[in-house]
Chain A
Amino acid sequence: MRAAALLECVDVSVNYGGVCAVDRASLAVEPGQLVGLIGPNGAGKTSLVDAISGFVPISTGRVLFDGVDLARSKPHQRARAGLVRTFQSLELFDDLSVRDNLLAASERPPWWRLAGEVAWPRLGRDQLAEIDGALESVGIAELAGRSPGEISQGQRKLVAVARALATHPKLLLLDEPASGLDTDESAELGRRLRTLLDRGTSMLLVDHDMGLVLEVCDHLVVLDFGRVIATGPPSVVRGDRSVIEAYLGESLADTLDRVDGDAT
């Protein structure tokens, strides 16, 4: 077992009533790594992300973040510790502007400033600069003043990623950030994720866009029926014909052909 993992799931199971959504899954994300979590629909990917971020209880196993067992942490405590997620469905705060969406997530003022703001609300210049930086890093700085209702689905996805980034996460759990993006936007998102990685944010990426996942991830974990059925670098998983046939079928074979075609 690697010692220095940032996130470590050990034999994690998630049960809904009698249904076992995740079955003793283990995975690790090391600092500076972008790990892809893939698998067919209903494989348990989102359930595992929910378990890691504290939205569903785990029935067996442990989740360790930065060496600390998260069993007793509530979702917001995990977020404050640097384990931040996005959602598959759009979950922006509709009545707040894009900038305020990011502010709501990033601010951690002490209680006396919270009280003081009711008498005199103000934002520090550095606070705003930080927000603009987070928006810039996903390429939507110009949307800061807009309301979530006025922007496109794809842009809303990016706001969700920026909002997560504004909290200075150590590890970002991205649940299908590319769904709703077109191919170009998706490739652009991939490049931006790599840039973020270089700046020190580790990531766990769940997505259906095989092109994106195979291209940007350092390491893949393949889930099916709640179990981890393969792990390894994309080149290995991609080459593993049995994985392709058993789990991803012909569609991946096609995707692989396309990716290979793009590469040559």
Chain B
Amino acid sequence: MTDYAFYLLLGSGAGAVIAMLGMGLVLTYRGSGVVNFAYGAIATWVAYVFYGLRADGDYVLPFPGLPERIDGGDEMAFVPAIAISLATAAALGLLVYAFVFRPLRLAPALAKVVASVGVLVAVLAMVQLRFESTILSPAKILPSEPVTIARDLTVPRDGFWLAGIAITLAIALWAVYRFTRFGLATRAAAEDERGAITLGLSPDALAALNWTAAAVVAGAVGILASPLTQLSPLLFTALYLVPALGAALIGRFTSFGVTCAAGLAIGMVQSTFVQLQVDVSWWPEIGAREGLPFLAIVGALVLLGSRLPTRGSIEIARLPRAPIARARAAELGLGYAATVAAFFILPGGWRIALLTSLIAAVLALSLVVLTGFLGQISLAQMAFAGIAGFALARFADDMRIPFPIAPLLAALVATAFGLLVGLPALRVRGINLAIVTLAGGVAIQEFVFKNPDYTGSIAGGGVRIPKPELFGIDLGLTVKGALFRPAFGVMVTTVLLVLVVAVMNLRRATLGRRMLAVRANERAAAAAGIDVARTKLVAFALSAFVAGVGGTLIGYRFGTISDASYGLFASLTVLAFAYIGGIASVGGALIAGAVTSGGIFFFATQEIVGRGSSANLELFIGGVALVAMAVLNPEGIAGALRQSRASRFLEGRPR
């Protein structure tokens, strides 16, 4: 048993990180009603800034166009470095609130979620752009000499320090909220914004203060917790953020104490899994760590039946319009012919960019069904794509199932996973569902994609996908010596055409009407005899199927796939670009494909300007554009085109 005590105590550090991030999420939510998916990004940026200052004294600026860094001479001492870093955190929190979430305070939940995803994407891309090596092993800050608790039980003490800080923070936050005028005012504003305004309080100022405080907490966590493990861009943004969301949900986004306790518990229990693997034969070697927060989140939401306490905010704006697009044979045919011709005419680099765009359009279509038509958010689309990719490897390579059947079966496997992730959607909607899908996506990623049994050895570069072949015609992208073969492009274009027509038809079909009815108003839909639960499941299944098809195309394109092919970050960028294009229409999905990172738009710009842009810069632009879209124009590019009546080709006339 000492082994378990050892791991429990060892996990107190990770638990404290989860607890503190969780409390920061609660603070943000109570202060402004935003579940900030980009919360970990603040911790990440500040951690890199701090360790940059400590290493060479350079202060790194996150704004493209301005100087990249301010030379601070030699490595900076601890105290000024931490002061500058925490000030950076406060400024970042204030900036994000003022420019992103304040303008969005009346927007629908969907807009807030995508905006926070935009911030996350932008910050992560900026980390990659500004810091040469993003994997750091910082020196310890907190005392870490081993402490002996009992005979055979000696653990490093930095975990206890962190846990102590977390508990102190919980008590401090509780006291501030309980006893100060600021806390009382924030609670009042969360209950009823209009009432608070009439009492002379300013919900905006309160929200800004709460955001700043939460950002400083995030910065402190980033600095203090990085030495526990390696610092990497995904450490705070995903690996710690998902359990932190779980802890915050258990605390119902209200209680600092419960959130702190839940966070500590999650971290400590996760830590014992190392020993459980040894002792329990069937215990999964991979992914159990990430499975636990997922179960905690689903449990908190479904079993406790808890919803986020709704905020008494003023008016809710509407979701993007989902116009009817008539599939006109001539226009579709023309687009198809032009794309196919491009694969024969254009040089290799263009063909690859075009392929990237077409496949991204397929993935964006999967979100048109789920988010555009049904109004539910998924942050797990790439996970569905990956499930299909790895299933395809199994079907086509191991079982030798021929071309059109194997990818269809693979997409059906993704459909099954879509149903599984969709099940919580019967009880959970909006932001909470986004949390569930994020956690589900991370769980699938760690549990399935990192398991060599399913996805091949990392040393071997992943699993092989055999080339598609139909009626003796090789549809592969590369065949001995021949690179960038047009045949593959024709195949991808054809698949996209079929899906475009299907989704256009869906909008005009019974199922599509039901989805839009559910999106508009679940109560009214049920009152009209629509089975809301079944409609949601069907939409999840269809969406996962389309994403699965996209996943098989990714597989065929690269020939070998590994867990890196379907990263969590990719799920977020899919949502980002789909929203930029226009989440609620087929035309929007096509635009999303065109403007996606590495797609035809960026490639063309690069060719014309004659200067290379890096993928990270494109992602950064994507993240910022996503935020701008969410704030300024929730209808996306497609909506803007529609309004300017220049969109007859993509959108079709009103009915």
A residues engaging B (CB < 8 A)?
A: 53, 55, 74-76, 79-80, 84-87, 91-97, 100-101, 103-105, 107-109, 113-114, 117-121, 145, 163-164, 167
Contact = CB atoms under 8 A, between A and B. Distances in A.
Given A94-B318, A95-B519, A104-B517, A76 B524 contact: no
B530 A105 contact: yes
B502 interface: yes
Interface stretch (B53-61, B113-121, B296-304, B508-516): B508-516
Nearest to B501: A119
Contact of B520 (A79, A92, A167): A92
Given A118-B505, A121-B505, A145-B655, A107 B513 contact: yes
Contact of B517 (A74, A86, A93): A93
Contact of B502 (A101, A107, A119): A119
A163 B519 contact: no
Nearest to B511: A114
Interface string B528-539: 111110000000
Nearest to A120: B505
Contact of A84 (B508, B519, B529): B529
Nearest to B372: A95
A46 to B, nearest CB: 12
Contacts of A101: 517
Given A76-B532, A114-B511, A118-B511, A93 B527 contact: no
Nearest to B531: A76
Contact of B524 (A93, A97, A100, A117): A93
A76 B526 contact: yes
Interface in B508-565: 508-511, 513-514, 516-517, 519-521, 523-532
Contacts of B506: 117-118, 121
Among B506, B510, B520, B532, max chain A CB count under 10 A is at B510
Contacts of B531: 76
B585 to A, nearest CB: 11
A92 B524 CA distance: 7
Given A105-B517, A164-B527, 8 more contacts: A74-B526, A75-B527, A76-B532, A93-B525, A101-B517, A109-B510, A117-B506, A121-B505
B interface majority secondary structure: helix
30 contacts: A53-B527, A55-B526, A75-B527, A76-B525, A76-B528, A84-B529, A85-B527, A91-B521, A91-B523, A91-B524, A92-B520, A92-B524, A93-B513, A93-B524, A94-B318, A95-B322, A95-B516, A97-B655, A100-B513, A105-B529, A108-B529, A117-B509, A117-B511, A118-B505, A119-B502, A120-B505, A121-B505, A121-B509, A164-B527, A167-B528
B366 to A, nearest CB: 14
A113 B521 CA distance: 25
Q: Which of B319, B511, B513, B521 has the most CB of A within 10 A?
A: B513
Nearest to B528: A105
- Which of B319, B502, B513, B528 has its CB near the most chain A CB atoms (within 10 A)? B528
Nearest to B504: A121
B140 interface: no
Interface of B: 318-319, 321-322, 502, 505-506, 508-511, 513-514, 516-517, 519-521, 523-532, 655
B15 to A, nearest CB: 35
A68 B508 CA distance: 36
Contacts of A121: 505-506, 508-509
B505 A117 contact: yes
B516 A93 contact: yes
Contact of B513 (A74, A75, A96, A108): A96
Contacts of A100: 513, 516
A93 B521 contact: yes
Contacts, number: 105
Given A87-B523, A93-B525, A119-B505, A76 B530 contact: yes
B351 to A, nearest CB: 30
Contacts of A53: 527
Contacts of B521: 91-93
Contact of A95 (B321, B510, B525, B528): B321
B537 to A, nearest CB: 13
Contacts of B526: 55, 74-76, 79
B510 A107 contact: yes
Contacts of B517: 93, 96, 101, 104-105
Contacts of A91: 521, 523-524, 527
Given A109-B510, A121-B509, A96 B516 contact: yes
Contacts of B505: 117-121
Given A105-B530, A145-B655, A55 B513 contact: no
Contacts of A80: 529
A120 B505 CA distance: 7
A9 to B, nearest CB: 18
Contact of A93 (B321, B509, B520): B520
Contacts of B519: 95
A177 to B, nearest CB: 14
A176 to B, nearest CB: 15
- Residue with the greatest number of chain A CB neighbours at <10 A, chosen from B321, B514, B520, B524: B524
Q: A75, A97, A119, A167 — which one has the most chain B CB atoms within 10 A of its CB?
A: A75
A233 B514 CA distance: 40
A139 B294 CA distance: 53
A53 B524 CA distance: 11
Q: Which of A75, A80, A104, A163 has the most CB of B within 10 A?
A: A104
Nearest to B535: A76
Contacts of A85: 527
B497 to A, nearest CB: 13
Nearest to A86: B527
A104 B513 contact: yes
A97 to B, nearest CB: 6
Contact of B510 (A76, A86, A117, A163): A117
A104 B514 contact: yes
A91 B531 CA distance: 17
Contacts of B530: 76, 104-105
Contacts of A104: 510, 513-514, 516-517, 525, 528, 530
A94 B520 contact: yes
Contact of A96 (B502, B520, B529): B520
A163 B513 contact: no
Contacts of B508: 117, 121
B453 to A, nearest CB: 35
B104 to A, nearest CB: 20
A163 B529 CA distance: 11
B529 A114 contact: no
A58 to B, nearest CB: 17
A53 B513 CA distance: 22
B529 A79 contact: yes
B614 to A, nearest CB: 39
A200 B253 CA distance: 51
B75 to A, nearest CB: 58
A172 to B, nearest CB: 11
Nearest to B498: A119
For the complex of A and B, list the 4 residue pairs with the smallest distance between their C-beta atoms, beginning with the closest.
A117-B509, A91-B524, A105-B528, A79-B529
Given A93-B521, A118-B502, A121-B505, A103 B527 contact: no
Contacts of A163: 528
Given A117-B511, A119-B505, A120-B505, A79 B527 contact: yes
A188 B2 CA distance: 82
A220 B517 CA distance: 34
B530 to A, nearest CB: 6
A22 to B, nearest CB: 19
Nearest to B542: A118
B527 A87 contact: yes
Contacts of A79: 526-529
B574 to A, nearest CB: 22
A21 B358 CA distance: 56
A126 to B, nearest CB: 15
